[in-house]
Structure formats: C-alpha cells, structure tokens
Structure 1
Amino acid sequence: MVPIDEPIPSETCVVIGGRGFVGRWLVLRLLKLKKWIVRVVDSAPSLQLDPSDHLDSYLSEAISSGRASYHSVDVRHLLQIVTAIKGSSVVFFLDIEAAHDQNFYASYMSIVQGAKNVIDACRGCSVKHLVYGSSTDVVFDGYQDICNANESIPYPSKYKYMWAELKAQAEAAVLFANDMNGLLTCALRSSNVFGPGETEFMPFLIKQAESGWTKFIIGTGENLSDFTYVENLAHAHVCAVEALDSRPVSVAGKAFFVTNNEPKKFWKFVSLILEGLGYERPFIKLPVLMVKFILLFGELVEGELEVIKHNRIRSIHYIMSIATQTRTFNCSAAWEQMGYLPVITLEEGISNTVQSFYHLARDSLFMEYGNVTEQSKADKLLGSGKVADILLWRDENTTFICFFAMVVLFFWLFLVGRTFISSIALLFLMVMIASLVYGYLPSDLYGLSIPMALPYYFEIEEDLVMDSIKCIVFVWNKAIRVVRLLARGEDWNVFFKAAAYVCFLRFIVLRHVVWSMGAALSLSFTSFFFYEQYEAEIDALGKALVNRMEKLKKRLLRNPA
C-alpha cells in the first residue's frame, strides 16, 4: 500500500506494454522503488483493474496517489507515443499483447515498426534511456542447439519462426539508435519467461494436462533450457537503467542475456510444474519425427484436435522446438556490466508459479478415487472376464505366462517348417507323453508337493460349451442373412462389403497368414492395454478422422466430378 501523503518523485518513466505479463511486474517493481512516476502504456482503450490481484491493487493505489497513470497507445501511431512519453526520462519497451498475431503485416507493424516509432518518439522527446525487452529467440534459428552462448553469438542468417525474426529486427533497430540525440539504449534477452500471471505457456500446459497429452516426452528428454522468472526480469530492467546512468560505456548499445542462470532439463521443469498442480509427470518418450508427423496430420484435419491449435503467433511447432532442443545462455556479462543477479531462485519461482495457478490444479483425490468403479471401453470390448484381465495386464505374471505360451505355440505350429497337421499331431503326442509321465510322478518329489491330476481338470464347463455353440450359431445365421441379401440382388453395399472381405481374406490366407497371425498375437497383448491407457486421446483422434471423412464426403457430393 502506498501512503497518500508520500512525496511524489519528480522523475518519470514509461512502461510501454505495461499491462502485459512482464510489464505488470515491472510496473510493480518500479512503484515499490519509489523513485519514479510510472506511466503505464498499453493498447487497451481503458484500464481494467482486478481488486483481488495484488499487482492491480498496488497500481490502483499508485494511481490514486498520483504516482502512476494509464495511457492508451497504438505503437503503430507515432503521435500517440509522443503524447504518452513526453516529459519522461526513461522508456521501457516491452511486448504489447496485441503484437502476437498470425498475420505478418500486423505483426511487423506492431513489433518492428512499433520499435522504430518508439525510437523516433524518444529522440524527439529527449528521452535519456530506452530499454528494450527482447528475447533469446533472436539468436535461435529453430534448428541448431545453443549451449552456454554469450552475447558474441550472431543473428542467424535465416529464421524458422516469424516472431523471432521480427524481434531480431526490432532489437537491432533499438541498438543501432544508441547515442543518437543523447538517447542511450540496450536490450535484455530473456529465455522462457514464467511466473504468476503468465498468459501463454502455463495455460497451454495446463490445458494439455487436462486433456491427457502431457504424458508424453518429445525426444530424449535430456535437452537443457534456461528459464527466467518474471520478477528477476523486472529486476534486470531496473539494473539496466541504473547501469545506463552510472556506466553507460559498458552497457549502452549492447544486448544482454538475462536468465535465472540455472539451466535445467526442459522436461524436468515441466514435470515439477505438473506435479505441483496434481497432474501426472511426463513419462512416455516419443521420437521427434513421429511427433512432427502427427502435427502434420493434425494440420491436415484442419485443427480438429485441440492440442495442435496455434498458441497465438508462437505455434505448437515453436513449443516443440524449445521442448526438444538445448538452449542455454551465459549471463556473466549482465552480472559484470549491469550488476544483475537473480533475486528469486528457480526453485522459488516454480513454487510461486504453481501456487498462483492452484485454482487450475487437478483435484487429485477426486481423480484418484472418484472413477475407481468406472469401466473402461477396452474392458467392455473384452467381456470383463479372464480374457480382459490377461490382455489388460492386470496380473503381470499370468499375462506373461499366457503370452509366452502363445508365442511357443505359434512357433511350434507355423515357424518350425512342418505342415500344420504334422505340428498338431506332434503336439498331441507330446501332451499325451507329458500327461503319462505326470501320472507316474510321486506325490512328494524331493520335498516338492505334486498335486494329482484329477478328472475334472480336463472337463469343460457346460455353460462354456453352450456359449461357444451360441456364438457359432450366431455367426452362422448372420452369414446366412448376408447370403440371402446377396441372392436378392437389392443391396449393393452388402455385396461390395462381402466382396472386399472375401478378397482380403483370400489375400491374407494365401500369402500372409503366418505374418498376420503373428501380428495379431502381438497386437492382442498390446493394443487393448494401450487403448485403455490413452482412451481419451484415441477417441479424440477417431472423432477427428470421422469429422474429416464427413467433410470430404460432403465435398464430393457437392462437387461431383
């Protein structure tokens, strides 16, 4: 809280993009330092404050006491910027939320032309210092890893992402304008900024966690990344202004990497966030090429899956790049030249971030116990009996024994080189010999108790026989109904389905019966288990395919060739 009767500072600073994620924290830090009157500049027509938000509450008190004010500005219009910054000595230029646009022209005008307009306005209004909030993306081409890079790393000759290239152009313009008309400039390159109030990555991550997509690790999971907690970035902006004032030769006209200086595996960082919010940490590794293929397929189905929708200008492809590639930076120059050191550790930053998003946390107790009795679709398909227990790996020992027995049987019948009849006959002979030997074994063999093979061991339950007969009768009657429909010659759909089925069966039986049975054996012990684990994701993919097929069908019917 700011006392009303506190003396108002005489020096004024402007935060362009002051209602953005980083801008709000920078405004808070500037107000707490009590050195400046702060003008908050953003694109919104009016200032909307949330009384329950401590950042907005502090700003509201500052506005009431005359230590802060709000100005609506479109950075594409020079005169509006001039009006907002006139009489100020320091300008901080951060991203304005409206700058995140998929359209190249709109993005260029907001990011690059906006930076040029800010520079011209600062020069015209005799502003002393301009600090530009840049990004480590300006030195990232989207393809090559970056390991402990310092500020000597050059701009890439070609960029993979539009946003990074536009930021690089804006940064270069700011640095080039240094020492023109007395204006001193510098740029701060942050990496993976996070913290309370973050509006892009955290909401995206939580949304994917709710959908079950965060079970997967893209790539090896060993890639390192640097992260910047938002309060540290706000502190770095203040350090930059103070350094421009006290030792301009060391800072002016330069760019500095600003991170928490604690490189961490990207997927470890994600795991800590997800676990803190009650979600399962990623544990299934997927090859990068496979994920790229899935993304390409997702684009072909026109964004039916929520996971592939663009996250403003920085798409899922960009997120995949930072999730699979190493990007670490050396911040020693920021410490030596600006005096910047993180004020919040990475561990504290993660904890603060998790707490701020706790309203979106998963109710772990409810999720763990609330659906215990809910039957999965895979269990229903398999009849919810012994077969389901085996194929869904509910008893791993039993499932493994059954799988091993099936593999041995498959090898015996199909892969040993004998005819099928010979293999069956030899198998029966071996079973008879084993049964005879078992019958002569004593009840106690070297301390091992051997139970007797009682007659009912070999009997089949009457209900099982009746169910099998009913199943055969059902299949037979269904086949007869299909034959009757074919004999009438009225249903061409049935004819084509039956013909396709017979042709497929002939192809499989004559050419690939062994391969097909082996594949069926493997899939039976894996596909049902996999489907039960990722039922929601597979169902979503199925719906997307059905929707796509429906759209194609409508187009074909609408535009006959």
Structure 2
Amino acid sequence: MDDPMNPGRRTCVVIGGRGFVGRWLVFRLLNSRGWIVRVADSLPSPQLDPSAELDSLLHRAVSSGLASYHHVDLLRRSSIFDAIEGSQVVFYTDLADLSHRDLYGTYQIIVQGAKNVVTVCRECKVKQLIYNSSADVVFDGSQDLVDEDESLSYPSKYQDTLSDLRAQAEATILLANDVDGLLTCSLRPSIIFGPGDDQYVPLLVKGARAGLTKFIIGDGENMSDFTYVENVAHANIFAEEALRTKMVSVAGKAFFITNNEPVKFWEFVTLILEGLGYERPSVRLPIKMIRYILLLHEWMSEKCGILKGIHCLSAHQIVHLASRTRTFDCYAARKRLGYSPAIPLTDSISRTVDSFGHLSRYSAYLDASDFPECSKAEKILGRGKIAKILLWRDEKTTFACFVISVLLFYWFFMSGRSFVSSMASLLLIVTAVLFAYVSLPLTQSGFALPQVNLNFSKADESLLRDSCRSILLFWNDGARITRELAKGEDWNTFCKVVFSLYSLKIILIHYVAFTAGVVLVSLFTFFLIYEQYESEIDAMAVSLICGARNLKWLLKNFPI
C-alpha cells in the first residue's frame, strides 16, 4: 500500500536504525527514493550529525517528511506497535546500545525482543520481516567451515552467548513465516566491517596500540569470508524484493551474505593495520598455548567473580575467528535473492581505512576518547622508554635488552668469578672497546663511522635536579627511620627492619643468583601479563588482602 501523502512510496521500519548496519540500510533506502523510512531504535533521540554523509541525508529526509524517528523499547509491545503500525516492511537489525548489558538483559533484548517484534508485525498485518542475523549462528569454533551452505544446522553448544541468543532469535523469526500473512527471511553476513564499524576495526587498532597485533594465532593460513557493510544493506533491499515476488523460494529461509572473496584472515588484518600505519602481524603463536591461556583466564575470572558484558567479542570468539577457516557458499543468495556484492573487497578495505583516518598511527587529530586510557602497568613504569621496553612495544629493542641482561647475569652470577673480579673484567673490556673505537679513522673501507659524543657537560639540568631531589628524599627517609629506631618507640617499624635485613642476609648468602634470575625474568614478563589481565589480578590481590586482614583479626581475637 502506497503512502497517500507520497504516492509511489511504501512505508518501512528499520529497527536498530541507528546501529552500524541500520545506518547504512537507512541510507540505501532513502537513496532509492521508493520508501518512507521509519527509523526505530532504543536511543532517546537519533543524535544526528549533519556534517556526516549518512546523517545529513537522514536529517534532510526527516525535515521533508520522508523519514521519522521512533524511540522503541523492544520489551514493550505498545512501543513497538507505535513504530510499526501502518508499515508494509520491517527490517530488523541490532540496536545501537546493546553493549554493557548483563546476560539476562541481553537475552531479553535479543530473544524476547524478537518474539515481541513478530507478535506486533502479525497484529499490524506487516507483509515482510527481514532479520539481520550473523554467520556466527552456525559456528561453534570446534572445526573449520569450508564453503558451507544454508543446509548447515545450528551447533548443539556455542562458545559465546551472543551467537546462541542470535540463533534463538533467528529461529523464532523464521518459524513465524506464513503466520497471519507475515513472510520472513534471515540474512547471515560474515564479519561485517566498514565505515562506522564499532567492533572489529577499533578492536584491531586497540590491539595494535597495545602491541598485541604483532602476534598471529595459529599458522596464519586460515581463510575467512568478510562482508562490507554497504553490501549488507544492498542484500536487505534484494531480500525485500525477492520476498515480495518470489516468496516460495525465499520465505522462511536464511541466506549467507559475504563479499564472495574469501581471503586469509591475517592477510585481511594486515591490510587494515598497514593501511592505518601499524605494524603487520609477524610472530606466530601455537593455538594450544593460546587455549591454555584462555582456560587460565576463565579460571581466574571465575575465582575473582568478574563478569563482562556479552555484547562485545569474547576472547574465545576472537581466537576461533582468528585461527579457524570460515568460508560460506552464497549460491542461494545469488540465485534466489539476486544478490551480488556491489563493492568488491579491495575497494571495501580502502574505503574502511580512509574512514578510520582519525585512528591512524600518524594522525594529527587523535582524540583521547578514541582509545582506552593507558594501562596501569604503563602508568607504573612511567610511560617512557622503560615502559616501552618492559611492555614489549618494540620487540626488537626489548629482545636486545633482554639478551644483554642475560649476558650480564651470566657474567656476574654464573661465570664462577667473584662480583669484584667480574666488575673489573667488564670495565677492562669496556675500556678497551671504547679506546679502539675512538682510535679508528672516521672512515673505514668507505663507510662513515658514527662518533660517540663524550661531552657530558650538557646534561639536562632538570634531570640532575630531580635526581638530587630523589637522593635527598631517600636520605631523609633513612635518617627519620633510624631516629625512630634509636628512640625505641616504634616497635612495628623495628620488626619490619629486622625482618627485611635478615631476609636480605639470607638472600645474599644463599640465593643471590636465583633471586637475580627470578627478578630478570619477572621484569620482562610480569608487567606484560599484568597489562593484559589487570582487572583479574587486581581482584585477586584485593581478595588476598581481605583474606589476610580477616586472618589477622581472627588471630587477634582467638581465645587463649
């Protein structure tokens, strides 16, 4: 039925119209000039940015009456009814504010929300309902999927809750097909990316800034299908037309939607990262080692009682996507929907990289809100060169420092010489090397040798001032503690000093080499591990401190 105020145009509703896919779908529908578009989402207002291309078109359409915004609550049927009544087609995509919900809240929005949408569509006599699902609904990470088609059944168990809930919602909508005249179908895009992506590309950039994307999980040969977001919007338009004209072969069915160009997963990641100026992945990590780390992470999270929002990608899902082959056969979409990608993969990646220029490594417009605050480990280490070395920001420099530290450890503790003899020998070698270096001619075999600047008179004044201040503070603290000990008034401090000195004596006599080795290894591993599991380690530390305090209280109040 045409809109009486706009003859020739039909009315459709885009649920989740302010989400990633929803924005592009609204853009395509308005550009087609055949629709009156109702944008429905859980945001109180559309929050339009007139300077953005997608929002600018929507802003003009709202002003001219060709579009409207409806605030909906998927748990209230009356709210959905107000947005859907009088429309012919409903496109159902993810809402814009699903993040940070707990398990029950996410279940309510995805599964119960889908049931409510189906019920209201039947009441309002809607003709077509197109659901935007995901290829994740048939993927549990247990095995590779190679050119799979829609005959693949749902897994019996999912590794991540979000895929499980989406599968339930998809099944609900497909089962509602041909009930009260409602025709339904589902689209299953695989790894959606593109301008406005709030998940995959930001996650890659975050990993690159943390130094994690240098690692390849597995052998790096696994293939994956990706789907550019404009192609997903393109597929929705085709699905609506096919559902209206070829309903027997389309209604009640699901269709895989991809760019039809399978590519190595890590090649795709490399193209995105290098396009934004970040280092390409190069270090391969065994998949078994990663799985053991995940099991340890789950155990620590469970013991510490840490809960996470389930709308974001889980660690298991990331590992499975990064290490498994996932390719899908889009023959059914081509034959029954008439779908073919409007934008090829190369152009899709290029457009995506261009749209995320503000996240580029070399961007002059980096906004602090684009990235998470620096980690506690980085703050503890001072955010300088030491932090970069111990957090493996530059693996070549870190590895060189580690090798030098190991050589010094061997020289002083494992060579069999005394500490004084080792120091004397080291100074002799350094002196001989420096003497030979400064004695060499400026050029050797046509190669210019860099000269060492031996002028130390231009030392940074502020650095010297800070160093002197630190020494004075340390000296004053020592003098104060010594004065308190001499008065015999602070027995708590006395016991601490005695215990520390006795422990130091034991270490220096028996375990100095072992202690030095443990410290050396810990320096290059502890801060890196702490940075990745800050919340878990902090929660464990709080638990241990609380347990120690409780034990101290019990010992104090234990009846004698």
TM-score, normalization by structure 1: 0.70
Question: Among 543, 548, 560, which residue is 1:556 paired with?
Answer: 548
Q: Which moved more, 1:23-32 or 1:343-352?
A: 343-352
177 and 363 in structure 1: CA distance in 2 versus 1, 3 angstrom threshold: same
Q: Is the 8 A contact 1:216 1:284 kept in 2?
A: yes
Do the aligned residues in 2 keep the contact of 1:102 with 1:313 (CA within 8 Å)? no
2:15–2:93: 8 Å Cα contact kept in structure 1?
A: yes
Task: Name the aligned partner's letter for residue 557 of structure 1.
Answer: R
Alpha-carbon contact 2:389-2:398 (below 8 Å) kept: no
| CA distance, structure 1, for counterparts of residue 187 and residue 338 of structure 2 | 13
Alignment of 1:291-302 (within 5 A): 291-292=293-294, 295-296=297-298, 299=301
* CA-CA distance at 1:97 after TM superposition: 2.7
Task: For 1:376, give the aligned amino acid.
Answer: K
- Shift of residue 54 of structure 1? 0.6
Match of 1:209 in 2: 208
Match of 1:276 in 2: 275
- Structure 2: how far apart are the matches of 1:265 and 1:498? 58
TM-score using structure 2 length: 0.70
**Counterpart for residue 492 of structure 1:** 495
User: Which residue number in structure 2 is paired with residue 454 of structure 1?
Assistant: none
In the alignment, is the contact (CA less than 8 A) between 1:212 and 1:536 conserved in 2? no
Partners in 2 of 1:70 and 1:164 — Cα distance?
29
SS in structure 2 of the partner of residue 214 of structure 1: coil
Structure 1: state its 5+ residue gaps: 1-5, 368-373, 382-388, 415-419, 421-477
Q: Distance in 2 between matches of 1:204 and 1:492?
A: 50
Query: Structure 1 residues 503, 95: closer, same or farther in 2, change over 3 A?
Result: same
Change (3 A) 1:222 1:507: farther
Question: Residue 290 of structure 2 corresponds to which residue in structure 1?
Answer: 288
Cα deviation, 1:390-414, whole Å, max 9, x if unaligned, reads: 9963899xx79x969x79x97xx89
Counterpart mapping for 1:270-349 below 5 A: 270-286=269-285, 287-292=289-294, 295-296=297-298, 299=301, 312-349=311-348
Are the aligned partners of 2:162 and 2:310 in contact in 1 as well (CA < 8 Å)? no
CA distance in 1, matches of 2:261, 2:138: 19
3-state DSSP of counterpart to 1:10: strand
Give 2:375's aligned residue: none
The corresponding residue for 1:115 is 114
> After the TM superposition, which residues 46-61 of structure 1 pair with which residues of structure 2 at under 5 Å, given as runs?
46-61=45-60
Q: Deviations over 1:445-502 (max 9, x none)?
A: xxxxxxxxxxxxxxxxxxxxxxxxxxxxxxxxx9xx99xx9xx997333444455556
1:33 equivalent in alignment to 2:36: no
Query: Structure 2 vs 1, CA of residues 134 and 365 (structure 1 numbering), >3 Å: closer, same or farther?
Result: closer
Could you tell me which residue of structure 2 aligns to residue 221 of structure 1? 220
* 1:96 shift after superposition: 1.3
Which position in structure 2 is the counterpart of 1:468?
A: none
State which drifts further: 132-141 or 82-91: 82-91
Alpha-carbon deviation of 1:188? 0.4
SS in 2 for 1:393: helix
CA 9–316 in structure 1, closer or farther in 2 if over 3 Å, else same: farther
Aligned residue among 377, 398, 410 for 2:386: 377
Among all aligned residue pairs of Structure 1 and Structure 2, give the percentage whose two residues are the same amino acid: 46
For 1:96 and 1:390, locate their aligned partners in 2 and report how far apart those are by CA, in whole Å: 45
Give CA-to-partner distance per residue, 1:191-250, whole Å, 9 cap, x none: 111111112222233233223332322333332221111000000111111111221111
Shift of 1:55: 0.4
CA contact 1:221–1:324 (8 Å) conserved in 2 = yes
1:130–1:543 Cα change, 3 Å:
closer
Distance 1:325 1:29, change over 3 A: same
Q: How far apart in 2 are the matches of 1:365 and 1:37?
A: 41
Q: Distance in 2 between matches of 1:172 and 1:146?
A: 21
In structure 2, the partner of 1:234 is: 233
Whether the aligned pair in 2 keeps the contact of 1:78 and 1:117 (CA below 8 Å) is yes
> Does the Cα contact within 8 Å between 2:102 and 2:308 map onto a contact in 1?
no
Amino acid at match of 1:493: K
Does the Cα contact within 8 Å between 1:18 and 1:40 map onto a contact in 2?
Answer: yes
Question: Which amino acid counterpart does residue 495 of structure 2 have in structure 1?
Answer: W
2:42 equivalent in structure 1: 43
Q: 1:393 aligns with which of 380, 395, 400?
A: 400
The 2-side partners of 1:297 and 1:285 are apart by: 25
Show CA shifts across 1:271-300 (max 9, x none): 221211122222233332354256347737
> In 1, Cα distance between the equivalents of 2:398 and 2:44?
61
Given that 1:239 and 1:340 are in contact with CA atoms closer than 8 Å, whether structure 2 keeps it comes out as yes
Between Structure 1 and Structure 2, how many residues are aligned? 458
Contact 1:257–1:334 (8 Å) recurs in 2: yes
The secondary structure found in structure 2 opposite 1:9 is strand
For residues 542 and 338 of structure 1, the distance between their equivalents in structure 2, rounded to whole angstroms, comes to 48
1:176 CA drift (Å): 1.0
Separation in 2, partners of 1:390, 1:192: 35
The separation in 2 between residues aligned to 1:105 and 1:538, in whole angstroms, is 30
The letter for the 1-side match of 2:496 is N
Q: Secondary structure at the match of 1:97?
A: coil
5+ residue gaps in structure 2? Answer: 367-382, 391-395, 418-477, 555-560
The Cα shift of 1:378 comes to: 8.9
Cα shift at 1:358 = 0.8
Task: Map 1:328-477 to 2 at 5 A.
Answer: 328-363=327-362, 376-377=385-386, 393=400
* Deviation string, structure 1 residues 476-531 (Cα, Å, up to 9, x no partner): xx9xx99xx9xx9973334444555565677769xxx8xx69x95x997x988x67
Could you list the per-position Cα deviations for residues 299-350 of structure 1 after superposition, in whole angstroms to 9, with x for gaps in the alignment?
Answer: 379699xxx9757453333323322322221111111111111111112111
Query: Is the contact between residue 103 and residue 310 of structure 2 (CA under 8 Å) also seen in structure 1?
Result: no
